[in-house]
C-alpha cells in the first residue's frame, strides 16, 4: 500500500483502540490491541505520517529510533530488592524504569494528554543483545518489567532486508501478535505532500517527467546507489537556501542528497534548463499580464519537456501566492474568532462599544483599563495554549506560524485604550487578506491568458488544471474564490476521463464476449 493509505489505516486503528464503552473501558482491551508494524523502504515518509496522525487524532507522540539506544537505556538498570517468599527472605533483581517508558509519562505530565502513540523506528535493526527486548516489547508491550501505559498505542517501523544488512527477521510468534502494514513508494501520493509542503518547483516538475527517478535503489559493484523521497525533500530545502545566497547548484551538490550519480547529473542538467526557462520566459512578467510575444511564440513551438518545465515554473510561482493567501486567511479567521469572543467579554464588562456603568471620565477610564486588561489576558492565554500545543506536537509549521502571528498581534494591541482601535486594526488585516486574494486571482487569470495564447485550448490547459487540482493550496484557493476558466477546462478533463472509462468498459465487454465465444 502507499503511505497515504497506511496513514488512514493507522488512524482507523487508533480510533478503534481508543474507543470506550459506557463504563469508560476500552472496547478492545489492551491485551488485544496489536502493535502496528509499519514495514517499508527508508525515506518513504514513515516517521512523518506518525507526526501527522498524532496531530490529526489530537493525541500525544513519543518517538524513538531504537538503534540509538543500548539495552540499559531501553530496558532500565538492574537493582537488588529484598522480598519475602514463604517466610524466607530473598534478594530479587528488578529494573529501574526504562528511559522510553519514562518519556511517555513525562509527555503526559507536560502536555496533559493521557493517550498517544509510542513510535519505535528501525525496530528490526537492533543489536543482538537488544533483539530479545524488542520481541518482548512487541509481544507483551513492556520494557523490562515496565508496561506501556494504558491508552498508548505502539507503532513500530522497520526496513525490509534488501535495504539494510542489519535487519533481523521476526519469527511467526511475533508477527502473529502485530498488525503489519507494508508500504511502498508512490509518487502521485508523495506529490500531494510535496505541493502542500511547498517543495521546489524544479523537483516536482523534474519528477513528473522522470517518475522512475523518484525512488531508486540499486546494488552495484561500487556499492548501493539510491534516490529517495527524503533525499528529494532535503534537496528541495537546500535549493531554496542556495537561491537566496546566490550560490550555484551542480551535480556534485545534488549528489550529496541524491546518491545515484546518473540521476544526480540528470537533475543538475534539468535544473540548469529550469533556471534558463525562468530567465527566458520571465515568469513574473507573465503573471503580471505582460508576456512578451517572443515568449508566447517560443512556448508554442517548444518540445514537451520545455512546455512542462514552463508550466512547472508558473505553478511554482503561483503556489507561493496560493500558500500566502491560505496562511493569511487562516490568521484572519483565527483572529476574528478571538476578537469576537473578546468583544463579547468587553460588552459584558462595559469595555466594548457599550457604555460603562460609571459615568463621565471615571467610566471612560474604566473602559480603557478593561480593554487593556482583557487584551493582555487574551495574549497570555494564546501564549499558554500555543506552548502547550507545541509541546504536545499538535502544531504543524503553518499552525505554528499562525499562532506566533496571533500572539505578536495581540501584544501590539496591549496598549490600546479603545476597542474601536482594535476593530480598525483588524479591518486592516482583513483588507490585506482580500488584496492578497485578489492579486493571486489576477495572477491565475494571467497564467491562463499566457497558456491560451501559446496553446489555444489544447491539452496543455487540461494538464495545467490537473496540476492545480493536485495542489492543496491551489485547490483550496479555487474552491474558496472560484475561477471560471479552471471550471471550464476541468469539465473538459472530466468529460475526457468519462470517455476513457466508457471506452475501457466497452473493450472489457468485447474481451469477455470474445472469451465466451460470442464475438
Higher per-residue pLDDT: 208 or 437: 437
Q: What's the mean pLDDT in 298-321?
A: 86
- The per-residue pLDDT for 74 is 67
Q: Tell me which range, 227-231, 395-399, 500-504, is most confidently predicted by mean pLDDT.
A: 227-231
Q: Which of 64-68, 190-194, 326-330, 336-340 bottoms out in mean pLDDT, i.e. has the lowest?
A: 64-68
- The per-residue pLDDT for 71 is 65
Alpha-carbon distance of 233 to 360, in angstroms, equals 63
pLDDT at 66 > cutoff 80:
no
Give the position of cell 469572543: 341
Q: What's the mean pLDDT in 486-514?
A: 56
Dihedral sign of CA atoms 269, 275, 281, 286 in order: positive
Q: Under the phi-then-psi rule, with left for phi > 0, alpha for psi from -120 to 50, and beta for the rest, what region is 350?
A: left
pLDDT at 507 > cutoff 80:
no
Collapse the DSSP code of 157 into the 3-class scheme (helix H, G, I; strand E, B; otherwise coil) and give the result. Answer: strand
pLDDT at 350 > cutoff 70:
no
pTM above 0.85, yes or no: no
- The per-residue pLDDT for 493 is 62
Q: What's the mean pLDDT in 386-412?
A: 84
Give the residue among 98, 97, 93 at the shortest CA–CA distance from 79. 93
Task: Assess contact for 477 and 326: CB atoms under 8 A.
Answer: yes
Give the residue among 472, 454, 330 at the shortest CA–CA distance from 400. 330
pLDDT at 127 > cutoff 70:
no
Task: Assess contact for 7 and 56: CB atoms under 8 A.
Answer: no
pLDDT at 517 > cutoff 60:
no
Task: Assess contact for 199 and 233: CB atoms under 8 A.
Answer: yes
Q: Tell me which range, 116-120, 142-146, 217-221, is most confidently predicted by mean pLDDT.
A: 116-120
Amino acid at each position: 500500500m502507499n503511505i497515504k493509505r497506511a496513514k488512514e489505516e493507522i488512524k482507523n486503528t487508533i480510533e478503534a483502540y481508543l474507543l470506550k464503552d459506557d463504563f469508560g473501558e476500552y472496547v478492545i482491551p489492551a491485551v488485544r490491541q496489536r502493535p502496528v508494524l509499519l514495514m517499508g523502504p527508508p525515506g518513504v515518509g514513515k516517521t512523518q505520517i506518525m507526526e501527522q496522525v498524532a496531530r490529526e487524532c489530537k493525541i500525544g507522540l513519543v518517538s524513538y529510533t531504537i538503534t540509538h539506544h543500548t539495552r540499559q537505556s531501553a530496558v532500565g538498570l538492574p537493582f537488588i530488592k529484598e522480598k519475602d517468599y514463604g517466610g524466607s527472605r530473598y534478594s530479587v533483581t528488578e529494573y529501574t524504569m526504562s528511559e522510553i517508558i519514562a518519556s511517555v509519562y513525562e509527555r503526559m505530565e507536560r502536555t496533559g494528554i493521557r493517550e498517544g502513540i509510542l513510535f519505535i523506528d528501525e525496530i528490526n535493526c537492533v543489536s543482538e543483545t537488544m533483539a530479545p527486548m524488542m520481541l518482548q516489547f512487541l509481544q507483551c508491550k513492556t520494557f523490562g518489567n515496565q508496561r506501556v501505559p494504558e491508552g498508548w498505542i505502539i507503532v513500530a517501523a522497520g526496513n525490509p532486508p534488501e535495504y539494510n544488512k542489519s535487519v533481523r527477521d521476526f519469527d511467526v510468534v511475533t508477527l502473529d501478535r502485530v498488525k503489519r502494514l507494508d508500504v511502498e513508494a508512490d509518487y502521485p501520493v508523495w506529490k500531494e505532500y510535496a505541493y502542500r509542503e511547498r517543495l521546489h518547483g524544479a523537483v516536482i516538475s523534474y519528477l513528473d517527467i522522470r517518475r522512475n527517478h523518484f525512488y531508486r535503489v540499486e546494488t552495484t559493484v561500487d556499492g548501493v546507489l539510491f534516490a529517495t523521497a527524503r533525499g528529494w525533500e532535503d534537496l528541495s530545502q537546500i535549493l531554496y537556501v542556495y537561491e537566496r545566497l546566490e550560490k550555484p547548484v551542480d551535480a556534485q551538490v545534488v549528489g550529496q542528497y541524491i546518491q545515484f550519480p546518473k540521476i544526480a547529473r540528470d537533475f543538475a542538467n534539468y535544473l540548469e534548463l529550469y533556471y534558463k526557462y525562468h530567465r527566458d520566459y520571465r515568469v513574473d512578467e507573465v503573471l503580471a499580464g505582460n508576456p512578451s510575444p517572443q515568449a508566447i511564440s517560443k512556448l508554442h513551438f517548444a518540445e514537451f519537456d520545455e512546455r512542462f518545465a514552463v508550466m512547472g515554473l508558473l505553478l511554482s510561482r503561483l503556489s507561493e501566492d496560493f500558500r500566502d493567501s491560505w496562511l493569511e486567511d487562516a490568521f484572519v479567521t483565527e483572529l476574528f474568532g478571538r476578537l469576537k469572543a473578546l468583544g463579547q467579554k468587553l460588552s459584558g464588562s462595559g469595555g466594548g462599544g457599550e457604555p460603562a456603568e460609571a459615568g463621565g471620565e471615571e467610566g471612560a477610564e474604566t473602559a480603557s483599563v478593561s480593554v487593556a486588561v482583557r487584551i493582555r489576558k487574551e495574549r497570555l492565554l494564546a501564549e499558554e495554549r500555543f506552548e502547550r500545543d507545541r509541546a504536545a506536537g499538535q502544531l504543524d509549521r503553518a499552525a505554528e506560524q499562525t499562532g506566533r502571528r496571533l500572539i505578536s498581534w495581540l501584544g501590539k494591541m496591549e496598549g490600546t485604550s479603545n476597542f474601536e482601535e482594535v476593530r480598525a486594526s483588524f479591518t486592516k488585516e482583513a483588507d490585506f487578506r482580500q488584496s492578497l486574494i485578489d492579486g493571486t486571482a489576477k495572477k491565475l487569470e494571467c497564467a491562463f491568458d499566457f497558456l491560451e495564447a501559446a496553446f489555444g485550448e489544447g491539452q496543455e490547459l487540461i494538464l495545467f488544471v490537473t496540476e492545480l487540482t493536485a495542489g492543496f493550496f491551489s485547490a483550496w484557493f479555487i474552491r474558496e474564490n472560484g475561477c471560471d476558466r479552471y471550471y471550464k477546462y476541468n469539465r473538459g478533463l472530466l468529460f475526457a476521463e468519462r470517455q476513457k472509462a466508457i471506452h475501457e468498459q466497452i473493450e472489457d465487454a468485447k474481451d469477455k464476449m470474445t472469451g465466451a465465444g460470442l464475438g
